[in-house]
Structure 1
Amino acid sequence: MQLNIKMIAEMAGVSVSTVSKIMNNYSDVSEKTKQRVLEIIEQTGYSPSNSAKTLATKKSSLIGVIFAGELNVDFTHPFFVEVLNSFKKQMGVLGYDLIFFSNEKFLSSGDYFSRCLHFHVDGCVIISGQKMESAIRELDMSSIPCIGVDLELKGKKSGYVMSDNYQISSKVVEHFYLLGYRELGFIGSTADSDISNLREAGYIKAIEGFGLTVNEQWFVHGEDFFEPSGYEAMQRLIASGPLPKAVFAASDLLALGAIRALKEHGLRIPEDIALVGCDDIEACKYTTPTLTTIRQNKERLGVLAAHMLFDLINNQSEGGSFVVEPALVVRESCGSRKHP
């Protein structure tokens, strides 16, 4: 028979919540009760992390990985996969393993915190999605150290890393401007996406900073950051009337969808319309034309997230944030052009 926390509680003659508190090193349990429960745990060999010592010291060397949001990214997203690979390698160097949480059950029950307690993770990395569930905010405000990737966390034991989204947009507009493009469009994700909103706000600010006109008709949005949304958004832009001369897509996958739509209508890139993406995923090098984009330093984001989480776990910091500088990568979809 496989033991569970309820059985341990019954053996010790205490409540399940008392066992949970002891497992998580809460101070409001008497030493006598604590020792009795820990002895039973040791005698029975019960432990979600396979060690009574781990339960007592609140150290499991496990890091929870959560893909947040009702519209969450996953292992199919090339940008976050590269960040996560970098994070995984650095956490391994620091002595930690990763455990991946499914978010499906929490969309209804809404309790990541209890799940983290059950597996006794030392901390969590939370990968940004869209339509964020309330359980993410509850976890952020809990006692469990958390680091967000492209997700601003505000808890006392939390921090986050992301690229400078305003600088991303500024670099795009500057590139367009220097190449002579003045009629500028944008493809973003939904209003639920903080990252898309930041890039759009930065784009508008940069356009206005150059004294250009913002045409809202040329600002379209998809359901997410993936290729089908970029395709549908560009189809709507084409159907709306005269096209802008250049478009910034808030992700490379959106840009790839836009390229597909433009080709279906016989439009040339960049001769008829120039295009810039964001992320610099591997596929950018192999599209036709190759995609000009903004490179986010994915390795640095992952390494920073790992070190920040390590410091939070070991009480060496009180959270905070790191913003990583992006870089423009010029390819065929928006390269050189003579100024008019």
Structure 2
Amino acid sequence: MVTIYDIAKKTGFSVTTVSKVLNNYSDVSEKTKKAIQAAVEEMDYLPNSHARTLTTKKSWTIGVVFVESLGIGVKHPFFNAVIESFRQYVEVEGYDLLFVSRNISNQRKSYLEHFRYRGVDGVVIVCSTYEDEQVKELMNDSIPTVVIDMSSDQSSVVYSDNYEGSKLAVQHLYDLGHRRIAHIAGHESTFAGEQRKKGFLQAVKALNLGLPNEYVVNGDYFSIEGGQKAMRSLLELEERPTAVYAAGDNLALGAINEIHEHNLRVPDDLSVVGFDDIELAKYTYPALTTIRQRTDQIGEESAKLLLKQIDCKDKYIGCIQVPVELIVRKSSGPVA
């Protein structure tokens, strides 16, 4: 088994210098770093985790909390894409991820108790609802945290510009000639749902569009079923909309399914715009016009914010709002 002493002998540097490079200290020249890193790769050196923990006073582990209301966890397309980007970034820095269960030795523990027990260096929370008390406990604690997809003044947060995304969606439909534009909203307890609805209402107001109360329908927790149910109520109106902006791609897909069930066509009879740009969006029929969330950037910015806190050994309150963009496909078209 290759040791740190073997690396030092091969490169001619001291054990201390090799240790500094392996633990990402900044007071080593780039030339020295490259030489030692080349030897590490050539000799297939793997650091002993216990020794590294003793040396750096870190566990080199980051806790992960998923809170989403559909009950599908990491299978959720948005959360999955974001956490994969996060993982790739922190993995390069030497960190592992710990996905929690609230049971330790058959005793039910809170997220915070679990992470204290495991000694994690920080926690990433993927959560869009304000209602989870255990998430609030984590955010209010001194442990370094970053929250994805929610706003807070108690923790570092990273989220998409939901408000601007809604304005882009409405403006796109308006430019196609639509004046009767409805909104299938996400659940009011979610940050994304709240912000996207606000952006929709502001856009409608700015464009002087009439908005009947029944044109804003609750789509619940961003599910396909929620989109179907909401679209059904819109199709039952005496004067139905010519276009629908849904607060999530799953809602939009559900809406399209319901439109087809009524023997209507998208976009000939109704245009539909979603939000997220999940992988499935470009493969549906018709391909979905949507607002793209930059999941790679969200994951990377979240990782940077958390690692900054871990390295400084201090909780940092910061906010990064990631831009979104309109992706035009086949589900939106000129008003009939």
TM-score, normalisation: structure 2? 0.79
What CA deviation, in whole Å up to 9, does each residue of 1:296-323 have, x standing for no partner? 1110111111111000111288230111
Counterpart of 1:211 in structure 2 is 208
The equivalent of 2:152 in structure 1 is 153
Partner of 2:327: 329
Distance 1:169 1:234 in 2: 18
* Cα distance change, pair 272–70 in 1 and its aligned pair in 2 (3 A): closer
Give the superposition deviation at 1:222.
Answer: 2.4
**Using the alignment, how far apart are the partners of 1:120 and 1:72 within structure 2?**
27
Q: In structure 2, how many angstroms separate the alpha carbons of the residues matched to 1:70 and 1:244?
A: 29
2:159 corresponds to which of 136, 157, 162: 162
Deviations 1:204-257 (A, max 9, x none): 001101111222201111231121111122122223433111111111111111
Instruction: Please give the root-mean-square deviation of Cα atoms over the aligned residues, in Å.
Output: 2.4
After superposition, give the CA deviation of every residue in 1:20-75 in whole Å (9 maximum; x if it has no partner): xxxxxxxxxxxxxxxxxxxxxxxxxxxxx974884796510101110125655612
Using the alignment, how far apart are the partners of 1:197 and 1:288 within structure 2? 28
Q: Is 1:86 aligned with 2:104?
A: no
Matched, 1:238 2:235: yes
8 Å CA contact 1:70–1:131 kept in 2: the answer is: no
Question: Which residues of 2 match residues 241-260 of structure 1 at below 5 A?
Answer: 241-260=238-257
Note if contact 1:141-1:154 (Cα within 8 Å) is conserved in structure 2.
no
Aligned ranges 1:174-193 → 2 under 5 Å: 174-193=171-190
Quote the offset at 1:333 in angstroms. Answer: 0.5
SS at match of 2:116: helix
Instruction: Tell me which moved more, 72-81 or 202-211.
Output: 72-81
Maintained 8 Å contact 1:71/1:129? no
User: Residues 137 and 69 of structure 1: is their aligned pair in 2 closer, same or farther, counting only changes over 3 Å?
Assistant: farther
Residue pair 1:66, 1:103 contacting (<8 A) in 2 also: no
Deviation at 1:144, TM superposition (A): 0.8
Instruction: Give the match for residue 276 of structure 2.
Output: 279
Q: What's the counterpart of residue 117 of structure 2? A: 118
CA distance 1:201–1:189, shift in 2 (3 Å): same
Kept after mapping to 1: 8 A contact 2:145/2:315: no
- Which deviates more, 53-62 or 80-89? 53-62
Q: Is the aligned partner of 1:194 residue 2:194?
A: no
Stretches of structure 2 lacking an aligned partner (at least 5 in a row): 1-47
SS in 2 for 1:132: coil
Higher mean C-alpha deviation, range 83-92 or range 144-153: 144-153
**Number of positions where the alignment pairs a residue of Structure 1 with one of Structure 2:** 286
Counterpart residue type for residue 60 of structure 1:
S
Secondary structure of the 2:168 match is helix
Q: In the superposition, relative to structure 1, how do residues 109 and 151 fare at CA in structure 2: closer, same or farther (>3 Å)? A: farther
Kept in 1, the 8 Å contact 2:292–2:327? The answer is: yes
Q: Verify the 8 A CA contact 1:110 1:133 in the aligned structure 2.
A: no
- Secondary structure at 1:175 match in 2: helix
Q: Match for residue 263 of structure 1?
A: 260
Q: Indicate the SS of the match to 2:97.
A: strand
Structure 1's 288 and 53: CA in aligned 2 closer, same or farther, altered over 3 A? closer
**Letter paired with 1:193:** T
Q: Which residue of 2 aligns with 1:132?
A: 131
> Hey, what's the Cα distance between the residues in 2 that align with 1:109 and 1:143?
22
Report Cα offsets for 1:64-104 as digits up to 9, x if no partner: 11012565561221111111111000010111100101369
Give the secondary structure class of the aligned counterpart of 2:300.
helix
Distance 1:143 1:72, change over 3 A: farther
Q: Please list every run of at least 4 consecutive aligned residues from structure 1 whose deviation after the TM superposition is greater than 4 angstroms.
A: 55-58, 69-73
Q: Give structure 1 stretches of 5+ with no counterpart.
A: 1-48
Q: Once the 2 structures are TM-superposed, how far is the Cα of residue 127 of structure 1 from its aligned partner?
A: 0.7
* Contact 2:142/2:315 (8 A) holds in 1: no
Distance 2:257 2:69 in 1: 27
Supply the AA of the counterpart residue of 1:284: A
